Chain A
Amino acid sequence: MKILVVDDELIVARALSRAFSAKGHDVTVAHSGEEGLEKWIENSPDAVMLDVVMPGLTGPQVIEEYKKRKNMKTHTRVILMTAHSGVKGREPALELGADDFIQKPFENIFNLVTRIEDLVRSK
């Protein structure tokens, strides 16, 4: 599976990257919205782990930009992640064009990886 991790918090990006890699997935990491958008277009990953609050383009803006440029629906599963208390639950995240929503901090990283794998496979 090709996974793109977009998070400005280095340790989060690194942890996710290590967790997915450990399960044998192909992980690409981006540290900003702009970089994430570029790598999303470039790599067409199966899933994008996209942080909501980032300097520059935010997660939802990245989704919007991506759809604007491709002008079509993508096969990529988009998972929005946030530590911010202002965004809660799945519903608002889906409205923003995401397929799933994950509240930081993660309870268990292994469960998270399994959940994303299931999501991609359910496609």
Chain B
Amino acid sequence: MIQKAKESVQPKVLIVDDEEAICAAARRLLRSKNIDCVTASTPQEALKILKREDCWVVVSDYRMPEMSGTELLEEIKKNYPNISRLMLTGFLELPIIQEAINRASVFRFITKPWDETELLLGIETAIQHSGRKRTNSQLAHEIGVQNQKLEELTQNLESEVMKRTQGIEESRRMAESKQKLVRELTGFVKNLSRVSTIPQLYEVLYYEMTRFHGVSVPYLLTFEEHGRGRLYWMQHENLHEKHISSLPQHFGSLRLRTSSPEDRVWWESHIKKECRQLVTIPIRAREIPSSLPVALFLVEHDLDKGKLVDFLERITERLQPVSIVLDKIMLRHQLEIAAEQWEATFDGFRDPIAVVDKEEKVIRANKNFFKKDQSRCYEMFDKRTELCIDCPMPIAISSQEAASGLVRTATQKSYRVLSYPVLGSDQVRRVVNHYTDISHERDLYLKLVQSEKLAAVGLLAGNIAHELNNPLSGIRALAQLLKSETSPSSPHHADLDEVERAAIRCQQIIKNLLNFSEPSTEYDENVDINDLISITLPLLKTNLRNQNVHTYFAESIEKVKLQPSQIQQVIFNLVNNASQAMASGGVLTIKTWQEKGKVCFSIADSGPGIPPELHQRIFEPFFTTKGVGTGTGLGLSVSRSIVEKFGGQLTLESKMGLGTVFTVVLPSKPLAK
């Protein structure tokens, strides 16, 4: 197609004829009918005009020089198909018409000279024809353009859909891989949360690392005090642990690094094998990024650069939770050590110590606080069912200050108990009880008290002696006088004898009492205990009128060096006690026997017995179980000190309901005085 002339809306007609007159006539005719019209005298001119102007209809003469009308119209048909083509001809020969129709698709033939009406009708019809063709071609063109656009659109849409689909696929993959990473991290953290020891931590790290292809068994090095450390690694599915006595100093300030020759040398020297590539990853204490590492993670690998970056990213992501766990473990470890130290200190005390709550439940106690299944302090301490008598705990709780008390156990031990209250906000939350066994001190104290009491007795005795000796002198003297004035055969004589004897006995008792306060003036004699008992028993005849007396004397017995009247006093006291213990009757058994270097005698009654808690107390001065006027509370204490003065022992054995045996053991060779 040749270049198109500007399309005109107004139909324009081109008349081509080599005869100017015809052109003019046609021009005149058409213009008169208001039809736009141009004329050309040659076919070349016509083609030029067409290039310039948009003509709807071309009316060409058939016979023209240079080029026939058929050739021109054929050319026009070829280049401007929308132009309706008419042919003017003077003669209508069939072959010409056929050729024109076939070659140039001539729309209509008009004969010359034309009939104006025919010409105008022909031209108008041609204009309409061309108009239709133009519209059609316009439509066809537009359809073509639309089709092209549609095609383009369709193509675009497909690629867009493809692009979108790829994008969605991509992000789905990314989301999935992210989800996987998060899942792995969550799983890792979850595993970490169950970790409470370093070996457990190592195990979690081990499984985490070995999932990464190209990474070998990891090594965990924890730092301990004084530049020491501990190395953990897995070998043949067993966890190994190695103590490192001296760590390189630079480990303490290390940052994450790969393939450090320094680390490598150290590592190889400890692992005893050659290393491929090594990553050293410090693990710091929690929350303090600038703090020094508390452990190192050493990982041998053969990763390329890209994979190593991935691996390090993965590791770095996990370092924080690892730090937290490590921190937790170390804190726990320190707590354990501290607790152990406290416990050892606590147990190191020789004295029992117990931490007790306000309900007397034992929270903690040291080894020396008797550990049993019970929960209350008094149950454990003394098998009691309620607080120990004089326990200072209630005072410590109510006063919120330390308190002390003296507690005696069923086993006759004495404890000084110090209760220290532990104050919570503003009230006592628990009490620390510290028990000191003062049984020995207590015994000494009691002995001291006893000797003090005896000293007091001595002093008292001095005064009493005077008071008693005076009237006794009178009684005795008067008895002697009266006796001298009565006949020996008179019953009064015997009565007065009895009075004098009683007075003598009284004087003897007073004399013995005085012996405690002052050095005796009596001399030691070698005495046969059997004889001594034999001469003493008759003096007690009246006391023993309700009892059966059995004596079992050793056949031969060593003599003992002592003051006979004093031991007589002991015998007198013990027999007197025995008879009083079985006032309504019973059996008094007196035995003597010889042991190696010792002479012994025992005086047993068949009375009700002495309760265990009184076994000690009855030896205390002024302690008496007898009714008013019956005992002085001095008999046994005096007897014991007499026996001890001669290096002997006075002990008792008593069973409730069966009776009591007092045994005197005297050394046959007395102590040097």
A-B contact pairs, 30 of them (CB 8 A): A9-B470, A9-B471, A9-B473, A9-B474, A11-B474, A12-B470, A12-B471, A12-B474, A12-B477, A14-B474, A18-B481, A22-B484, A51-B470, A82-B466, A83-B465, A83-B468, A83-B470, A83-B473, A84-B462, A84-B465, A85-B517, A86-B462, A104-B470, A104-B473, A106-B476, A106-B477, A108-B480, A109-B476, A110-B484, A112-B477
For the complex, what is the distance from the CA of A16 to the CA of B484, rounded to whole Å? 14
Interface size on A, residues (CB 8 A): 26
- Tell me the nearest residue of chain A to B517, going by C-beta: A85
For the complex, what is the distance from the CA of A83 to the CA of B462, rounded to whole Å? 9
The minimal Cβ–Cβ distance linking B570 to chain A, given in whole angstroms, is 22
Residues of B within 8 A of A7 (CB): 470
Q: Which of B492-542 contact A (CB under 8 A)?
A: 503, 507, 514, 517-518
Which of A105, A110, A112 is the one whose CB lies under 8 Å from B472? A105
Residues of B within 8 A of A104 (CB): 469-470, 473
Residues of A within 8 A of B387 (CB): none
A19 interface residue per 8 A CB criterion: yes
A94 interface residue per 8 A CB criterion: no
Which of B468, B473, B517: most chain A Cβ within 10 A? B473
B478 interface residue per 8 A CB criterion: yes
The minimal Cβ–Cβ distance linking A49 to chain B, given in whole angstroms, is 12
Residues of B within 8 A of A57 (CB): none
Interface size on B, residues (CB 8 A): 23
Q: Which of A1-54 contact B (CB under 8 A)?
A: 7, 9-16, 18-19, 22, 51, 53
The minimal Cβ–Cβ distance linking A87 to chain B, given in whole angstroms, is 10
B215 interface residue per 8 A CB criterion: no
Residues of A within 8 A of B517 (CB): 85
For the complex, what is the distance from the CA of A7 to the CA of B477, rounded to whole Å? 14
For the complex, what is the distance from the CA of A83 to the CA of B481, rounded to whole Å? 20
The minimal Cβ–Cβ distance linking B521 to chain A, given in whole angstroms, is 9
Nearest first, the 8 closest Cβ-Cβ pairs linking A and B are: A11-B474, A83-B469, A15-B477, A105-B473, A109-B477, A12-B474, A9-B470, A84-B466
A85, B514: Cβ atoms closer than 8 Å: yes
B462, A16: Cβ atoms closer than 8 Å: no
A19, B477: Cβ atoms closer than 8 Å: yes
The minimal Cβ–Cβ distance linking A117 to chain B, given in whole angstroms, is 16
Residues of B within 8 A of A108 (CB): 480
Which of A14, A105, A110: most chain B Cβ within 10 A? A105
Q: How many A-B contacts at CB < 8 Å in the complex? A: 70
For the complex, what is the distance from the CA of A105 to the CA of B472, rounded to whole Å? 7
A85, B465: Cβ atoms closer than 8 Å: yes
Residues of A within 8 A of B467 (CB): 83
Residues of A within 8 A of B503 (CB): 105
For the complex, what is the distance from the CA of A86 to the CA of B481, rounded to whole Å? 29
B652 interface residue per 8 A CB criterion: no
- Tell me the nearest residue of chain B to A11, going by C-beta: B474
A85-B518, A110-B484 known; A15-B462 Cβ under 8 A: no
* Other A-B pairs, 14, CB within 8 Å; known A14-B474, A51-B470, A83-B470: A13-B474, A16-B477, A18-B478, A22-B481, A53-B466, A83-B468, A85-B462, A104-B470, A105-B476, A106-B476, A109-B476, A109-B481, A110-B484, A112-B477
B101 interface residue per 8 A CB criterion: no
Residues of A within 8 A of B380 (CB): none
Residues of B within 8 A of A85 (CB): 462, 465-466, 514, 517-518
- Tell me the nearest residue of chain A to B465, going by C-beta: A85
A11, B475: Cβ atoms closer than 8 Å: yes
Residues of B within 8 A of A53 (CB): 466
The minimal Cβ–Cβ distance linking B107 to chain A, given in whole angstroms, is 186
Q: Which of B556-584 contact A (CB under 8 A)?
A: none
B480, A14: Cβ atoms closer than 8 Å: no
For the complex, what is the distance from the CA of A86 to the CA of B462, rounded to whole Å? 8
Residues of A within 8 A of B514 (CB): 85
